[in-house]
Structure 1
Amino acid sequence: MSTDKRYMWSLAISWTAFLALMLLAVQIGLAQSSEDAYQTERFNVSGSVSLEVQTSGGSIQVEGSNDDEVLVEMYVRRRGKFVEAGEADLDDYEISITQNGNTVSAIADRKSNRGWNWNDGYSISFVVYTPKETRTRLKTSGGSLTARNLAGSQELRTSGGSITTEGIQGQMVLRTSGGSISITDVQGDAEAKTSGGTIRADMVVGNLDANTSGGSIRLTGIEGNVEAKTSGGSISAEILAPRDIIDLRTSGGSITVTVPDSQGYDLDLDANRVYAELINFNGRAERDEIRGTFNGGGTMLKAKTSGGSIRLKYL
């Protein structure tokens, strides 16, 4: 290797190490603990809980627990740093953390319409620990949403961040205008929609409706009906136990679908090129489309792309 190449290689390694250290520093700076909470409230509850959390400028995280109480922690940041209790001027916010029976609400609503400003405004986030039997309504206009280890219906909406759910038993409605959606270990139907990110779902027992306008969709370990649509990416779907329908559509990528070969399907595949090993098939199979029955028919399997190929694979 020449001296110039060794120099460039050394410079690249140095910059990579520098960027990694900077990222670690940012993550450490943003990490939070209960000691950083601006306000903390505890509510005793009995039975299933209804939880509403809303903020206009920060994230929301809800964690299920085995305790018979709801613990609400409110965090205030300014310019990325935590603000200590009593040190923030929150006159421009209406903050309410209340209990009415088994209904708990935590709301931080900004009075003016000036929006959140990095230099002058505050970011108010919530972390809530609640009994596992909790149904939620979470909404923020400027941060991410997280819900874990909960049983009950979950509704999560954000205008400017990602959504993460894990260990949920119950129906979910997930909406974001500016981030990705991640779903893991769910028992129940899930509806996920984003206008600006990817959708990932793993180990879902229930019907899944995934829709994105600006990213890819990756589904693994799904048991149920699947509808997945994207305008700007590829789709990869592994369905362990298909039910009535699998409908996959994209305008800007390829589709890979993996299903059990022991089950019957009604196939309707349309792409620039379709790749499939057809066993016990009756119908029409061409280079760019396949229509017919597989193993005598059964689950409707539809896949269509105008910008790539389709691959049918088997478990």
Structure 2
Amino acid sequence: MKTIASLLICYLLSISLSWSQNGEYSFKESYDLATPAKMKISSSDGNIEVSAGNTKKAEVLYIVRRNNKVLQISRKELEKELKVTVLQTGNSLDINVEYPKIQGFNWKDHMQVSFKITVPKETSCDLITSDGNVSLTGLDLSQQCRTSDGNIAISSVGGDVIGRTSDGNISVKQINGAVEARTSDGNIVAEDIKGNTQSVTSDGNIVLSHVTGDITISTSDGDIAFTDVAGSVKASSSDGNIRGNILELKKSLAVRTSDGNISITIPDSMGLDLDIKGESLDVALNNFSGTSDEKYIHGKINGGGIPVSLTSDGNVSLNYR
């Protein structure tokens, strides 16, 4: 099981994208886009980086590599090996890169196509790659980023965000909308989110801070930490510790871990319906009515109100501030 400290180290090291250090690219194309714009990029093997520009054009840098070396080639030369389809109509741009589905294709020395793109701020993106990293920043509308083997980094977005990878870390920051972040083998970091947040990984840690809305967090093997959140919280881990600080609790709080400890801090003087189970409990029962012992608490605080369910095979601590 990874620790929270290792999460931060792994995040700093692995979330960075592997662009060429000197800004090299193979060729460049520009497309006029009316706003609000839509852009879809699909590539089977490469990185995608999108950021906001100051014009109504989409500027696309094609970064073509072979054996990790950037090739100085043209679009025509690229299409001798790969199929590149570009559809541009009004406010929509769709770029698709396909690899030959034929026997004898040399996958060892094949070309890899990455993109570095600037678009108008009012652009909604659908970014897809199967073996590479995805980075997106500074756009006003909703965004979707997917990769099957790579990291995702999304920041400063004015709409909803979806980020999905099957083997990589996910970072989402400064999002003015709902967030869905899913990975099957990686860590998730979410900061400054103003919307409902769903973060799911099957093998990794999850760290949330300054999140407002309905929060759902789940990992099968890792720790969960959330600080300065406001809303409802549902968190679960099969093998890890869960700790959190809630500034404002709404609707419900449900936290469960099969093998780890729970430590939660909530505002004082709230009406609560408690259902708490653990190997050992550290819960102040002021103005409490119900039943309690060393391993189980069921009842009401301050006359009852918001459901609070904490379940662990380890220690459970509920603190008030």
Give the TM-score normalised by the residue count of structure 2.
0.78
**In the TM superposition, what is the alpha-carbon distance from 1:66 to its structure 2 partner?**
3.0
How many aligned positions are there? Answer: 286
Alignment of 1:124-143 (within 5 A): 124-143=113-132
**In the TM superposition, what is the alpha-carbon distance from 1:165 to its structure 2 partner?**
0.7
Match of 1:249 in 2: 236
Structure 1 residues without counterparts, runs of 5 or longer: 1-22
Give SS of 2:138's match.
strand
Q: 1:131 to 1:256 in 2, by over 3 A?
A: same
Q: 1:291 to 1:61 in 2, by over 3 A?
A: farther
CA contact (8 A) 1:160 1:178 kept: yes
Q: 1:209 to 1:293 in 2, by over 3 A?
A: farther
Match of 2:255 in 1: none
CA contact (8 A) 1:74 1:126 kept: yes
Q: 1:235 aligns with which of 224, 227, 233?
A: 224
Identity of aligned residues (%): 30
Give SS of 1:151's match.
coil
Q: How far apart in 2 are the matches of 1:97 and 1:241? A: 44
The amino acid of 1:85's aligned partner reads I
Match of 1:10 in 2: none
Matching of residue 94 in structure 1 with residue 83 in structure 2? yes
The amino acid of 1:192's aligned partner reads A
Match of 1:16 in 2: none
The amino acid of 1:254's aligned partner reads N
Residues 105-144 of structure 1: CA deviation (Å, up to 9, x unaligned)? 2221112278998841222111111111111111100001
Match of 2:55 in 1: 67
Give the TM-score normalised by the residue count of structure 1.
0.80
Q: 1:210 aligns with which of 199, 204, 227?
A: 199
CA contact (8 A) 1:92 1:112 kept: no
Q: How far apart in 2 are the matches of 1:75 and 1:284? A: 65
Matching of residue 31 in structure 1 with residue 18 in structure 2? no
**In the TM superposition, what is the alpha-carbon distance from 1:98 to its structure 2 partner?**
3.5
Match of 1:111 in 2: 100
Match of 1:20 in 2: none
Residues 224-272 of structure 1: CA deviation (Å, up to 9, x unaligned)? 1111111001111124321xx3111111011102113155554444444
Please give the root-mean-square deviation of Cα atoms over the aligned residues, in Å: 3.0
Q: How far apart in 1 are the matches of 2:25 and 2:88? A: 19
Q: How far apart in 1 are the matches of 2:170 and 2:30? A: 30
Structure 2 residues without counterparts, runs of 5 or longer: 1-12, 248-266
Q: How far apart in 1 are the matches of 2:57 and 2:274? A: 51
Matching of residue 222 in structure 1 with residue 249 in structure 2? no
Q: How far apart in 2 are the matches of 1:275 and 1:117? A: 62
